Chains A and B, each alone.
Chain A
């Protein structure tokens, strides 16, 4: 199974992480006490617990679950009102005395406040991203604004995991053309938003466009002609070191802002690459043979890709939940 194939298969990984997630246990404990339609309370409790214990992944996951369960909670409110009237009709042991009936809880006298709950989840995500949100930003905007920070945190965690994991992988990259056939995900907000900074449609056809590290200077072609690589490959290959470009473009130190079409040539460089650049490099097979042969490096790449995929899924789920929430509000208004 290829690495990219494994990205879509996160179900097993999710199950394992859920088993190890203390917040998930808290959620289950709370949900076992509360009715099913109040699952959002359990999600919030689990997310808060995870947040307190420093498990940002679990907190984010449970926050997403909470957003998913919000529409269900609102629907159940209407149902419960109907049930209450039905219960009164069935007859109760004690006669109803309006003076003895409890008033609705003061803080929950109004129906479920979407704004406050959304704020709560937003706060959780803010804390995850460690960046205060602008008060004027809407929920989806604020979430997307924090996605960069969240992704950064997840990347660090993934690198740590890759360093400590003992799993063996059998991922191999045989040809760039095989990888190019893989359709990149285009339905997630993050990738669309970031598509501009990494050259999503770069014209790379198998030759690295950036200079290799100083340790392997002879393998790097001196000049690159990405616009017409098939028509004139010979001049570039025949004069690798004689052109002045070779001397004027040495292996420059990485400055933290990788250019489009970058090749993964070392672990240090890989760690400093942006998510879009990593994804682009993997999709187009721009991985140096040294890295491809290094099992640890490949595991690190796989972990990074898993983290990116996980974040994309989380953002997609969150946006879907937000959409459902908005649709539920619209439907309630129509009713």
Chain B
């Protein structure tokens, strides 16, 4: 039977522990130096520019885990997910980042653009469905 560590772990965490983890980043708890995160961010950005999105996703997961309050990790992660075609996940991620930094202009811009893109895709899909239906009806 496969183990399910995440639900067990979340069940084990008390409200106080969750609150503590929400308020404190792993970076501050483990004393990760800023230089180390800067280096990882630079690497992730270079990988993004080189088009190596799966690797960027892994690094972004690490960056968000290390400092879940920092907007830049969310922006890069969302851009990567968009490149991978996962627009809805990207919007969710941007929303999560905006929860910590609500006035961040880049995240706000990304959210509006992503929503527009999702809407455009939905419209295009609707139109395609309509065309299919028309062609079937004509047939």
Contacts and interface: CB of A to CB of B under 8 A. Distances in A.
Interface string A97-121: 1011111111110001000100010
Contacts of B82: 94, 100
A108 B42 contact: yes
Q: How large is the interface on A (under 10, 10 to 19, 20 to 34, 35 or more residues)?
A: 20 to 34
Nearest to B74: A102
B75 to A, nearest CB: 5
A103 B110 contact: no
A99 B45 contact: no
Contacts of A44: 35-36, 39
Contacts of B28: none
Contacts of B43: 34-35, 38, 41
A233 interface: no
A311 interface: no
A92 B41 contact: no
Interface string A17-51: 00000000000000000110010010011001000
Interface in B73-123: 75-76, 78-79, 82-83, 85, 106, 109-110, 113-114, 117
Shortest beta-carbon contacts, A-B, top 9: A105-B41, A108-B42, A84-B49, A102-B76, A107-B38, A102-B79, A87-B51, A41-B39, A99-B113
Interface of A: 34-35, 38, 41, 44-45, 48, 77, 80-81, 83-84, 87, 92-94, 97, 99-108, 112, 116, 120
Given A84-B49, A99-B110, 9 more contacts: A41-B43, A80-B49, A87-B50, A97-B117, A99-B109, A102-B72, A102-B79, A103-B72, A103-B106
27 contacts: A35-B43, A35-B46, A38-B39, A38-B43, A41-B39, A41-B43, A44-B35, A44-B39, A45-B36, A77-B46, A80-B49, A83-B49, A84-B49, A87-B50, A92-B51, A92-B83, A93-B85, A99-B109, A99-B113, A100-B82, A100-B113, A102-B79, A104-B45, A105-B45, A107-B41, A108-B42, A108-B45
Interface of B: 33-36, 38-51, 72, 75-76, 78-79, 82-83, 85, 106, 109-110, 113-114, 117
